Amino acid sequence: MGEDSAYEGDSYSVSFSPDGRRLVSTAYDGFIRLYELTSTGLRPIAKSHVSGGQHPYAARFSPDGKLLAVGFEE
Q: What is the pTM of this model?
A: 0.89
What integer pLDDT is reported at residue 1 of this predicted model? Answer: 67
pLDDT tens digits, residue range 27-49? 999 999 999 999 998 999 999 99
Nearest to 56 by CA among 19, 24, 20, 18: 24
**Rounded distance between C-alpha atoms, residue 39 and residue 29, angstroms:** 29
Choice between 1 and 24, residue whose per-residue pLDDT is larger? 24
pLDDT over 90 for what percent of the chain?
Answer: 78
Provide the mean pLDDT of the chain. 93
Q: pLDDT band for position 3 (50/70/90)?
A: confident
